Amino acid sequence: MTMTEEQTMLWDTADRYLRENTDFNQRRDQIAEAIYNQPQKWQAFAEMGWLAMPFPESMDGLNFGLREIAILAELCGQYLVTEPLIDTLAVASTVLMRSERATALVPDVISGELIAIAAIDEPTAESRLSPSCTLSQTDSGWHLQGKKYWISAGASATHFVVLADSGNGLAWVLVAKNAEGLSCETFPTHDGKGGANCHFDLPINDDQILLMGDAAAEALAAFRECAMTLSSAETLGAAQAALDTTVDYTKQREQFGQPLASFQALQHRMANMLIQTETTRSLVYAACDAADRDSPDRGRFARAAKVKSAAVGRKVTQEAIQLHGGIATTDEYIVGHFFKRVTALETWVCSKGEALQEFMALDA
Amino acid sequence: MNASSPLPTDSDAFRAAVRDFLREALTPELIRAGERTTSVFSDFEAGRQWQSILHQRGWGAPDWPLEYGGTGWDIQQRYIFQEECRQANAPTPVMMGIQMLGPMLMHFGTPSQKERFLPGIISGSNVWCQGYSEPGSGSDLASLKTTAEHDGDDFIVNGTKIWTSMAHYSDWIFCLVRTDKTVKPQAGISFLLIDMATPGITVKPFTSLDGEVEQCQVFFEDVRVPTANLLGQENQGWTVAKSLLEFERGGQHFTIDLKKQLSKMQHMMSSETCRVTADPTFAYRVAETQIDVMALEQTELRIKGSLTAGDNPGALSSLVKVSGTELGQRCAELLIEAAGQSAIPWQSEVLAPSYEGSTAAASESVTTMAEYINSRATTIYGGTAEIQRSIIAKHVLGL
C-alpha cells in the first residue's frame, strides 16, 4: 500500500498548497458570504493540473488513475475543501470520458472554466437509478423536463450533467446553469459546499446529449462507483484529521489536575478511533487499486470502502466531538466541521445503505 | 367509573381535557415554533409566550408542589400533559428556572427568596440561565475560579462562565462562585443569584455547530451582588449544585421526546423522499430503537413512581440521562439516514416561526440535519456521558 514516487510527489505538492492556502476562519467567512468556490483557488487547482487528472494525454490530460485522484479527495477531507473538486473529477472521469461529444468541452474543463456537476437526485428515493426527469424527442430536437434536487456543490456549477429517462434508456444531458428554461435555486449546506435545486423545462439539441442508452447506463454505474470511492477517501481524510485534532487537544486540555489524554478510558477510545481509521484506509486504497487494475472485484471493493468509511467517518467524528466536549459544539472550532462534512458525504451519490445492499447482491 | 377498566377513565378524560386546551391555545405560529425546534429550546419569544399562556391556565409548572403554583397532578397526569404538549408541537420555553432553580429555591431558599423569585419563574416573566461551567472547568466543575468576595452587604464577583445557554435572553443567572480558596475545592463554593442587568456583566454569544445562537460566555467584572442573593449557606453551594444537576439530569421525561422522534420517523418513512424504504435492515434498527425507548420509558416511570413531587431522583438520574441522550442520538441518526440527501440544505431563516415560504430541504427534513448536529451536544451538557458513567460506577455500583 506504499505510494509510488509520483504519488508521493503529488501528495506533497497538494498537501503543501492546501496547508498554505487554507484558513479555517476565512473558510467560515466565505461560506457566510455564499462563496463556496474561491476563484483564485480554483485557478490554482487548474494550474497544478488537478482538473486534468482523469483525461488522456491526447486531450492534454495527465492520465492519472483513481488512486491519484483519491489522494486529492483525502486531502479535501483533511483541509475541508469546499471547492467542487471531487464533484467535477467524478463526472469528468466517468461521464465526460465516455462521451465523444464531450471532447470539445475538455479544454474548458481542464482550464477550470467549465464546472460540470452531476444532477441525479430527485424527490423520490429510487430516482437516483431510474430518473423521472424526461428527455423527449420533439420536431426540432429534444426537450428536457423534470426536477433535480439537493445537488451537492450545485451552487458552484457552471453546468449540470443531468441524468434523464429518454424513453429509450438513460441519458446524460449537459445544461448550462444560465440556460433559459432552467430555474435554479442555490442554497447553503451544513457542510459548506453549497447546493442547488433545479427545475428543467427547456429544449435540448443533439450536442448536449452526452450519452444515451447502454453507454449512459454504463457511465452511471462508473460514476456511482467512482463517487463511492472518492467519498470514502474524503471521509478518510476528514476522520484522520478529526482524530489528530482530538489527540492534540486531549494532551493539552487538563481536568482534575491532569491532561484528558492521561485517562485510560479516553485513551482506549482514541485507540479505537485509530484502529477504525487505519482499517478504512486499507479498504479505500484497495478500492482505488482494484479500479485502476480494472479488477473483477472493483465494484465489490468500492462498495466495501463506502460502507466502511461511512460507518467509521460517523463514529470517529462523533467521538472527536465527545472527547473535546463543549468546545466542539461551536461553529468556531474546527472539529465539528469534519463531522458535518462526513455526514453529507454519507449520502452523496450513494448512501451507506444502498452500497451495503449492492454489496450483498454482488456476493449472492 | 368502571372498576375493571385497565386504565382509569379519568386518565382518558384528563388527556382529552389537555388536548382540548392545546387545540384552543396553540396558534399556528406557536405550532410552527414547536415543529421547527432543533434543540432543547424553541424560538425564544414563542417559548415565552407559551409559558405565559400555560401560567394563565394554572399549568405553568406542573411538577411543582401545589403551594408554589403547581397543579397537584399525579405522576401519570404530569406525564400525559408533557406528552400531549410535545405531540401537539407546543414550543418549549427556557426551562432552567422552572426545572432547575425552582426546586432549589423551595428546598434551600429563605421565605423571602421564595416569595421574591418563584412567581417570576412560573409566569415566565423572569428568564433564568445557569452559570456553572467555566473555560477551565467543564467536567471538573469543582475547580471553578469565578470568585465572590465580601464587601459590606455585597459580594464582588469576578470571572467568567461558559456554555451558558440562552444567557443573551436571560434576566437572571444562578451561578456557582468561589467564596473560599483555602479549603478543598468543593468546600469553598457558594450559589449566587445574580441580576443580569447588574453593571459589569457582559454576554458574548457563540454560533453553534448548526449555525444558530444558543450558547454564550458571560463575563463578570467587579459585579456587585447583595449577600441576600446567596442561596443556601455560604460555602455550601456544592450541595445545592449537585442536587440541581440531579434534577437537570433526571427532571425531564426523555421518553416523551424520544417517542416524538419515533413518530417523526414513522412520518418520514411513509413519505416519498424517504431514502431507506427499500432497506430491510433499516426497519429492524428502528424497531430495536423502539424497544430501547420502551425500556427507558418503563425505567423512568419506575424511578418517578418511587418519588413524590419535589423529590430528587439521586444518582439514578445519571442512568436516565445517559440512556435518554444516547437513544436520542440514535433516533437522530436514523432520521438523518432516512432523510438522506434531502436534508443537506441549511436555511436558518426557515426555522423562524413566522416563516411560511417554501424550503430547499424536503418538508419532512427541514430540521433533521440541525437536530442530528445538536444531538451531539446532549451527551456533553449537564454532565458528560463519561461523568455520568463515573457517577454510576461510584455511587450506584460502589466501585
Q: pLDDT digit string (tens) for B112-168?
A: 999 999 999 999 999 999 999 999 999 999 999 999 999 999 999 999 999 999 999
A357 vs B contacts (CB less than 8 Å): 278-279
B373 vs A contacts (CB less than 8 Å): 190, 336, 339-340, 343
Q: Are residues B307 and B226 in the same domain?
A: no
d(CA A3, CA A14): 14
Single out the residue in B205, B237, B269 at which a domain terminates.
Answer: B237
A334 burial level (CB within 10 Å; 0-12, 13-18, 19+) = middle
B376 vs A contacts (CB less than 8 Å): 318, 321-322, 328-329, 336, 339
d(CA A265, CA B372): 25
Domains and CATH numbers, chain A: 5-114 (1.10.540.10), 117-212 (2.40.110.10), 216-363 (1.20.140.10)
Nearest CA in chain A to B139: A255
CA B239 to chain centre: 21
Q: pLDDT digit string (tens) for B48-65?
A: 999 999 999 999 999 899
CA A217 to chain centre: 20
The number of beta carbons lying within 10 Å of the beta carbon of residue B308 is: 9
Predicted pLDDT at B1: 33
Q: Are residues B263 and B379 in the same domain?
A: yes
Mean pLDDT on A298-311 = 98
Domain range for B72 is: 9-93
Minimal Cα–Cα distance from A217 to chain B, Å?
Answer: 21
Predicted pLDDT at B277: 78
| Interface with A, mutate which of B160, B341, B378 (most A CBs under 10 A) | B341
Q: Are residues B299 and B231 in the same domain?
A: no
Taking an 8 Å cut-off on Cβ atoms, the answer to whether A187 and B360 are in contact is yes
- What is the full DSSP assignment across B14-37? HHHHHHHHHHHH--HHHHHHHHT-
Assess contact for A239 and A305: CB atoms under 8 A: no
Evaluate whether residue B244 is within a structural domain: no
Minimal Cα–Cα distance from B375 to chain A, Å?
Answer: 10
Q: Are residues B269 and B390 in the same domain?
A: yes
Q: B216 touching A, CB under 8 A? A: no
Predicted pLDDT at B309: 52
Minimal Cα–Cα distance from A58 to chain B, Å?
Answer: 37
The number of beta carbons lying within 10 Å of the beta carbon of residue A108 is: 15
pLDDT band per the 50, 70, 90 thresholds, residue B69: very high
B288 burial level (CB within 10 Å; 0-12, 13-18, 19+) = exposed
Predicted pLDDT at B5: 32
- Cβ under 8 Å to B: A residues 340-359: 340, 343-344, 346-348, 351-354, 356-357
Cell output for B120: 417570576
Taking an 8 Å cut-off on Cβ atoms, the answer to whether A353 and B133 are in contact is no
Q: pLDDT digit string (tens) for A269-281?
A: 999 999 999 999 9
Q: At what angle do helices B280-305 and B316-339 cross, to 10 degrees?
A: 160
Q: A269 touching B, CB under 8 A? A: no
Taking an 8 Å cut-off on Cβ atoms, the answer to whether B215 and A330 are in contact is yes
Q: B363 touching A, CB under 8 A? A: no
Q: pLDDT digit string (tens) for A212-249?
A: 999 999 999 999 999 999 999 999 999 999 999 999 99
| pTM score of the predicted model | 0.95
d(CA A108, CA B68): 74
Closest CA to B17 of B68, B74, B77: B77
Predicted pLDDT at B312: 64
Residue keyed to cell 450545485 = A154
Alpha helices for chain A (secondary structure H): 5-21, 24-32, 39-47, 66-79, 85-91, 97-98, 106-111, 214-252, 264-292, 298-324, 335-347, 352-363
Q: Are residues B277 and B153 in the same domain?
A: no
Predicted pLDDT at B8: 39
Mean pLDDT of all residues belonging to chain B: 91
B138 vs A contacts (CB less than 8 Å): 255, 325-326
A315 vs B contacts (CB less than 8 Å): none
B370 vs A contacts (CB less than 8 Å): 190
The number of beta carbons lying within 10 Å of the beta carbon of residue B156 is: 17
Q: Are residues B309 and B227 in the same domain?
A: no
Answer yes or no: is pLDDT of B7 > 50: no
Cell output for B95: 426551562
d(CA B71, CA B78): 9
Q: pLDDT digit string (tens) for B274-291?
A: 888 778 889 999 999 999
Assess contact for A53 and A64: CB atoms under 8 A: yes
pLDDT band per the 50, 70, 90 thresholds, residue B252: low
Taking an 8 Å cut-off on Cβ atoms, the answer to whether B210 and A126 are in contact is no
Taking an 8 Å cut-off on Cβ atoms, the answer to whether A255 and B139 are in contact is yes
Between B246 and A310, the higher pLDDT residue: A310
Catalytic pick from B248, B300, B364, B371?
Answer: B248
Instruction: Please say whether the dihedral angle defined by the alpha carbons of residues A255, A258, A260 and A263, taken in this order, is positive or negative.
Output: negative
A264 burial level (CB within 10 Å; 0-12, 13-18, 19+) = exposed
* Strand A159-165 versus strand A116-119 pairing type: parallel
Answer yes or no: is pLDDT of B6 > 50: no
Answer yes or no: is pLDDT of B249 > 70: no
Predicted pLDDT at B2: 35
Beta-carbon-side half-sphere exposure of residue B231 (alpha carbons within 13 Å): 29
d(CA B340, CA A364): 26
- Total tally of structural domains belonging to chain B: 3
Mean pLDDT on A110-122 = 97
Evaluate whether residue B118 is within a structural domain: no
Single out the residue in B237, B267, B299 at which a domain terminates.
Answer: B237
Minimal Cα–Cα distance from A137 to chain B, Å?
Answer: 29
Q: Are residues B176 and B285 in the same domain?
A: no
Q: Are residues B229 and B281 in the same domain?
A: no
d(CA B194, CA B156): 11
Answer yes or no: is pLDDT of B37 > 60: yes
Evaluate whether residue B31 is within a structural domain: yes
The number of beta carbons lying within 10 Å of the beta carbon of residue A54 is: 27
DSSP three-state, residue A48 = coil
Q: B399 touching A, CB under 8 A? A: no
- How many residues appear in chain A? 364
Q: A262 touching B, CB under 8 A? A: no
Evaluate whether residue B110 is within a structural domain: no
Closest CA to A202 of A173, A230, A228: A173
| Interface with B, mutate which of A80, A120, A132, A150 (most B CBs under 10 A) | A150
- What is the full DSSP assignment across B338-373? HHGGGG-B--GGGGSTT--S--SS-GGGTTHHHHHH
Containing A150, the helix (H) or strand (E) segment is strand A142-152
Answer yes or no: is pLDDT of B81 > 80: yes
| Interface with A, mutate which of B344, B368, B374, B391 (most A CBs under 10 A) | B344
Answer yes or no: is pLDDT of B251 > 70: no
- Cβ under 8 Å to A: B residues 225-264: none
* φ/ψ (deg, to 5) at B148: -130, 120
B136 vs A contacts (CB less than 8 Å): 254
Answer yes or no: is pLDDT of B250 > 60: no
Taking an 8 Å cut-off on Cβ atoms, the answer to whether B362 and A266 are in contact is no
d(CA A306, CA A191): 19
Cα–Cα distance list, A105 to A48, A92, A110 (Å): 19, 10, 9
Containing A152, the helix (H) or strand (E) segment is strand A142-152
Q: Which of A85-94, B69-78, B298-307 comes out lowest in average pLDDT?
A: B298-307
* Residue B246 identity (one-letter amino acid): E
The number of beta carbons lying within 10 Å of the beta carbon of residue A17 is: 17
Q: Which of A118-122, A248-252, B91-95 comes out lowest in average pLDDT?
A: B91-95
Cell output for B159: 470571572
Minimal Cα–Cα distance from A40 to chain B, Å?
Answer: 26
Mean pLDDT on A183-205 = 97
Answer yes or no: is pLDDT of B294 > 50: yes
Q: Are residues B162 and B269 in the same domain?
A: no
CB-CB: which of B215, B272, B344 is closest to A150?
A: B344
pLDDT band per the 50, 70, 90 thresholds, residue B356: confident
Evaluate whether residue B3 is within a structural domain: no
* Residue B383 identity (one-letter amino acid): G
Evaluate whether residue B294 is within a structural domain: yes
CATH number at residue B176: 2.40.110.10
Q: Are residues B79 and B21 in the same domain?
A: yes
Q: A127 touching B, CB under 8 A? A: no
A257 vs B contacts (CB less than 8 Å): 140
Closest CA to A187 of A214, A148, A159, A154: A154
Taking an 8 Å cut-off on Cβ atoms, the answer to whether A329 and B377 are in contact is yes
Taking an 8 Å cut-off on Cβ atoms, the answer to whether B279 and A353 are in contact is yes
Minimal Cα–Cα distance from A236 to chain B, Å?
Answer: 19
Question: Is there a catalytic annotation at residue B248?
Answer: yes
Predicted pLDDT at B228: 97
Q: A131 touching B, CB under 8 A? A: no
pLDDT band per the 50, 70, 90 thresholds, residue B248: low
Assess contact for A97 and A55: CB atoms under 8 A: yes
Q: Are residues B262 and B338 in the same domain?
A: yes
A257 burial level (CB within 10 Å; 0-12, 13-18, 19+) = exposed
Q: Are residues B209 and B181 in the same domain?
A: yes
Predicted pLDDT at B304: 74
Answer yes or no: is pLDDT of B301 > 90: no
d(CA B197, CA B132): 19
Predicted pLDDT at B76: 84
Residue A323 neighbours by CB under 8 Å, 6+ apart: A246, A249, A250, A260, A266, A269, A270
- How many residues appear in chain B? 399
Q: B296 touching A, CB under 8 A? A: no
Between A259 and B79, the higher pLDDT residue: A259
Instruction: Please say whether the dihedral angle defined by the alpha carbons of residues A152, A158, A164 and A168, taken in this order, is positive or negative.
Output: negative
Predicted pLDDT at B4: 34
Assess contact for A310 and A235: CB atoms under 8 A: yes
Mean pLDDT on A42-65 = 97
Answer yes or no: is pLDDT of B94 > 70: yes
CB-CB: which of A326, A353, A357 is closest to B337?
A: A353
Q: A266 touching B, CB under 8 A? A: yes
- What is the full DSSP assignment across B197-251? TSTTEEEEEEEBTTS-EEEEEEEEEEEEEEGGGEESSTT-HHHHHHHHHHHHHHS
Q: B272 touching A, CB under 8 A? A: yes
Taking an 8 Å cut-off on Cβ atoms, the answer to whether A353 and B385 are in contact is no
CATH number at residue B314: 1.20.140.10
pLDDT band per the 50, 70, 90 thresholds, residue B244: confident
DSSP strands (E only) in chain B: 128-131, 147-151, 154-162, 172-178, 189-195, 201-207, 213-226, 230-231
Cell output for A70: 483519491
The number of beta carbons lying within 10 Å of the beta carbon of residue B346 is: 23
Predicted pLDDT at A254: 95
Mean pLDDT of all residues belonging to chain A: 96
